[in-house]
């Protein structure tokens, strides 16, 4: 076969051509096997239209796959939760089961489950393909629920196309988006938080914990019902309304999808759905992910591929999500789940310890998603640096549109924990924020929800710590707070303006939300105190939080004002570790940083494109909690140097106060 572009673009991958080409061929062959050459992949991935509960013109039909079952019964409020021959399923081919019921048997909001029998046992189960699961407030028991409202929600929006120039993502969690000590709702988020996100300048939200999960504190990563939107936040119609409103505001809605593992629960989840431990999952040692206390899908089974691919298509079509951020991709790629692996050279990516079935699934998932919606966005959360993850399938890649730049938040936290301010090195900052493959787009971020979890610290907490509680009034000068606010802005500005794809921020971090995330649990008395966002802090002009929020808004406005900002060439102008100065350009924008905690520099020279420049953003602006040490109304003219006349370069000399950065535009 013709050499793949991934290899021609990176000759260092040539020794691994056989492995890369082999994976591509395997994916192509698997697609042909699944579709039989008679339908598209999207046509194959339509299990949700067959399985699960459906209301038909002639009545209700419910189908499930349970190959090890000897009998299946429907139980619920309609028959007193008792096993009855009137509600016995018929066995079909390929381990499928089906029951048809008169239309007046089931009603909107009726609760139901399956009673599955197998050789030597039986158990109640929630249907694997069900679209609605609710938990009893008193007994805490989960049940499937009929969702058939008299007036179903009808979308008001036409086809939506995400704005990826660049993608500015607000990572969020519906339940903790409320200021009250309770679980937030889709409706509250739609009416109170979405307008705030739009006003701030973000053009995408990445919603966590949508797929139903039994334990709230899992952050949505231990999924039980893959086709059910979490009912603890509201109804399916309310989620659809939220997505419609987001689209009307120009905001894309990306779902945090978990296909890397599943919760171990058996009654609520898929653990032993038909009595066997390996129906959806691996048998033997590979069944459990011991670090995550969860179960690992067997991607080598066509039925599992059908389930997961149909799940992708379902969320795109039923709810009109604009794409997915795939969680735990590293765990999927490697038989070791990436644990204990060094990943120091290309040998580590092609050493025979990769899960080829999982890799094939990821490639097929990306092909399917973009077949269903060519404008959809897919993002891989992957830490090992696997080459080609965000390269096109036809080029030998995995087909993701973006990969997460997980090295950047690790770098910032390590810097804050281990280095004194005077030891910050601009050369290292530049290297970490721009360290990526040129042929793959990335999503850069300074911190996400990971850094905000209890047991860790957010950037603002590393910077200010306990003084956050006592010295955030605008009329209360405090050196620790001043330092923290200054560096918080510098960290975000250099991270957001060196992107080659997108930028992400977790909700509240943009204004330095003062507390970690700790979901209700036995250890904290089931308290919601730390599982919420206190929006009043950023809204209060008497507090310093609004300085950070206002800066974030101005920074995003600057980025969005440049067409295809993420694709504008990025050129380093200067760095000096001794002075702690960094400067780079993107076309007519010059970004100049002084990370020095003590020294300000007068007439600091940068060799740049000749012309006149004016300041368009300054971290030291008093509007953003700075000291206003420079006059930003002045224009700055470059100075002629005959040595660089043929290059069209001249010296731009600036006053750079300590711990500040400014962005200048050539006019």
Q: Are 222 and 268 in contact (CB under 8 A)?
A: no
Cα-Cα-Cα-Cα torsion 598, 603, 608, 612, nearest 10 degrees, comes to 120
Q: CB-based burial of residue 345 (10 Å sphere; 0-12 exposed, 13-18 middle, 19+ buried)?
A: exposed
Strands (E), 528-622: 570-576, 581-586, 589-594, 601-609, 612-618
Tally of CB atoms within 10 A around 24? 22
d(CA 554, CA 556): 6
- 327 annotated active-site: yes
d(CA 360, CA 380): 15
d(CA 621, CA 516): 28
Q: Are 215 and 269 in contact (CB under 8 A)?
A: no
Among 171, 356, 381, 440, the one annotated catalytic: 381
d(CA 344, CA 354): 16
d(CA 642, CA 171): 50
- 381 annotated active-site: yes
d(CA 448, CA 587): 29
DSSP state at residue 3 = P
Q: Are 132 and 231 in contact (CB under 8 A)?
A: yes
Q: CB-based burial of residue 347 (10 Å sphere; 0-12 exposed, 13-18 middle, 19+ buried)?
A: exposed
d(CA 186, CA 188): 6
Among 298, 327, 356, 447, the one annotated catalytic: 327
d(CA 404, CA 425): 23
DSSP state at residue 456 = B
Backbone angles phi, psi at 161, to 5 degrees: -115, 115
Q: Are 211 and 319 in contact (CB under 8 A)?
A: no
d(CA 365, CA 377): 12
Backbone angles phi, psi at 402, to 5 degrees: -140, 160
Tally of CB atoms within 10 A around 586? 20
Q: Are 295 and 289 in contact (CB under 8 A)?
A: yes
Q: Are 313 and 305 in contact (CB under 8 A)?
A: no
d(CA 217, CA 229): 16
Alpha helices per DSSP H over 192-328: 194-200, 236-248, 302-318
Among 267, 307, 321, which Cα is nearest to 126's?
267
Among 253, 250, 515, 281, which Cα is nearest to 376's?
253
SS3 636: strand
Query: Catalytic residues, which ones?
Result: 327, 381
């Amino acid at each position: 076969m013709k050499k793949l572009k991934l290899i021609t673009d990176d000759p260092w991958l040539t020794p691994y051509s056989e492995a890369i080409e082999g994976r591509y061929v395997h994916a192509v062959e698997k697609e042909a096997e699944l579709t039989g050459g008679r339908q598209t992949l999207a046509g194959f991935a339509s299990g949700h239209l067959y399985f699960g509960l459906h209301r038909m013109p002639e009545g209700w039909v419910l189908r499930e796959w349970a190959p090890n079952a000897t009998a299946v019964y429907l139980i619920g409020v309609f028959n007193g939760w008792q096993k009855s021959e009137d509600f016995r399923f018929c066995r079909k081919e390929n381990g499928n089961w089906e029951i048809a019921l008169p239309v007046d048997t089931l009603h909107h909001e009726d609760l139901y489950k399956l009673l599955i029998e197998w050789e030597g046992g039986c158990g109640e189960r929630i249907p694997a393909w069900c679209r609605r699961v609710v938990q009893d407030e008193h007994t805490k028991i989960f049940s499937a629920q009929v969702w058939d409202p008299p007036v179903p929600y009808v979308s008001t929006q036409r086809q939506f196309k995400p704005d990826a120039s660049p993608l500015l993502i607000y990572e969020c969690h519906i339940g903790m988006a409320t200021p009250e000590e309770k679980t937030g709702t889709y409706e509250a988020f739609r009416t109170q938080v979405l307008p705030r996100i739009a006003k701030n300048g973000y053009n995408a939200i990445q919603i966590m914990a949508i797929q139903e999960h039994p334990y709230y504190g899992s952050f949505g990563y231990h999924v039980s019902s893959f086709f059910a939107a979490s009912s603890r936040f509201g109804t399916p119609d309310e989620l659809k309304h939220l997505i419609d409103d987001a689209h009307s505001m120009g905001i894309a809605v990306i779902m945090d999808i978990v296909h890397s593992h599943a919760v171990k629960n058996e009654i609520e989840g898929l653990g032993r759905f038909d009595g066997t431990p390996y129906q959806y999952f691996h048998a033997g040692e590979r069944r459990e992910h011991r670090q995550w206390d969860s179960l690992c899908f067997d991607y080598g089974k066509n039925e599992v591929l059908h389930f997961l691919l149909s799940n992708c298509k379902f969320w795109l079509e039923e709810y009109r999500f604009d794409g997915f951020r795939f969680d735990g991709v590293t765990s999927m790629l490697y038989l070791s789940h990436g644990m204990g692996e060094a990943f120091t050279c290309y040998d580590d990516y092609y050493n025979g310890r990769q899960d080829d079935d999982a890799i094939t699934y990821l490639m097929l998932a990306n092909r399917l998603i973009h077949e269903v919606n060519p404008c959809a966005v897919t993002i891989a959360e992957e830490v090992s640096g696997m080459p080609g993850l965000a390269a096109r399938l036809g080029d030998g890649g995995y087909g993701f549109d973006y990969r997460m730049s997980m090295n950047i938040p690790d770098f910032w936290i390590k810097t804050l924990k281990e280095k004194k301010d005077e030891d910050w090195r601009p050369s290292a900052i530049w290297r970490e924020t721009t360290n990526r493959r040129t042929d793959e787009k990335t999503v850069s971020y300074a911190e996400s929800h990971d850094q905000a979890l209890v047991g860790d610290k957010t950037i603002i907490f590393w910077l200010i710590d306990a003084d956050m509680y006592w010295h955030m009034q605008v009329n209360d000068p405090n050196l620790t707070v001043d330092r923290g606010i200054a560096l918080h802005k510098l960290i975000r500005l250099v991270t957001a303006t060196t992107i080659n794809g997108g930028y992400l921020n977790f909700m509240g971090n943009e204004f330095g939300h003062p507390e970690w995330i700790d979901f209700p649990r036995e250890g904290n008395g089931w308290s919601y105190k730390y599982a919420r966002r206190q929006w009043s802090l950023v809204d209060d002009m008497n507090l310093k939080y609004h300085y950070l929020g206002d800066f974030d808004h101005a920074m995003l406005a600057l980025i969005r004002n440049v067409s295809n900002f993420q694709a504008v060439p990025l050129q380093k102008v200067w760095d000096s570790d001794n002075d702690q100065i960094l400067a780079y350009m993107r076309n007519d924008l010059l970004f100049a940083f002084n990370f020095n905690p003590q020294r300000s520099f007068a007439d600091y020279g940068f060799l740049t494109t000749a012309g006149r420049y004016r300041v368009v953003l300054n971290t030291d602006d008093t509007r953003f909690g700075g000291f206003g040490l420079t006059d930003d109304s002045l224009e700055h003219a470059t100075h002629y140097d005959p040595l660089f006349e043929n290059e069209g370069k001249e010296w731009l000399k600036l006053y750079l106060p300590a711990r500040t950065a400014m962005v200048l535009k050539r006019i």
